[in-house]
Amino acid sequence: MSQAAPAAAPPDGPPQLPEEKLPPVTPLAMLSLGLIVAGGIYLASHLPEHVPIGPAAGLLIASGVVLVVNVMLLAGAPTFNWSLFTGVAKWALLAYVVIAGMIEYVFVKDGTRGAELVVLSCSLAVFAIHVPLLIGFTVARFQPLDEPGREAG
């Protein structure tokens, strides 16, 4: 098992970035968010008509798959500060559940129902999970391991 590179600046020489080999969590998260945003725009742009739900559902499923892949890749990372990740992500999750809840409330208040509501709700769920994951990852990737040698998962 490889040890984490020191995150703090070395006493001599120019400071270095920690050279962890971590999965591409940020690009995958942006891809996932882009897919649900595209699905949301597709649905919103056709209101109040009922449009085929297939394209939006397809984009949502693709986004969900990217989320699952992202979580699996991150879980397999050999060295990662999981305690800091969890500490940050849980509070970010709370904040984004409130934000997603506000948006959901507006959709329900406006009478969105049926398959459209299901797709929008699931899209908000992906959003409310993926953004905290990304925030937690970005914070934890630059921090040293609190328990050296701890395995992910």
Partner 1 sequence: MEAGTLAPEVRPPAPAAPPAARDFEIVPRVGLPIVAIVIGGLIAAIAANKLWALEFFHVAFGAAWTIIDLFLGFVLGPILARLSIPARVEFTTRLMPKMLLIMPTVVTATLASGWQLGHYLGTIYSVYPNHGWIVASYIVVGVMAVIALGLLEPANVAVLFELKKERPNPAVIQKLMTRFIYTAAITGAMQVATLVIMTKVATS
Listed ranges 54-62, 69-77, 100-108, 118-126: which one lies at the site for partner 1 (CB under 8 A) = 100-108
In the set 1, 12, 13, 49, which binds partner 1 (CB under 8 A)?
Answer: 49
Cis peptide before 14 (omega within 30 of 0): no
121 binds partner 1 (CB under 8 A): no
Alpha-helical segments (H) within 21-151: 25-44, 54-75, 82-109, 114-140
65 binds partner 1 (CB under 8 A): no
Amino acid type, 29: A
Asked if 124 and 145 touch (Cβ cutoff 8 Å), the reply is no
Asked if 33 and 22 touch (Cβ cutoff 8 Å), the reply is no
Residues at the site binding partner 1, with contacts judged by CB under 8 A: 7-9, 14-18, 26, 29-30, 33-34, 37-38, 40-41, 44-49, 84, 88, 91-92, 95, 98-99, 102-103, 105-107, 109-110, 131, 134-135, 137-139, 141-143
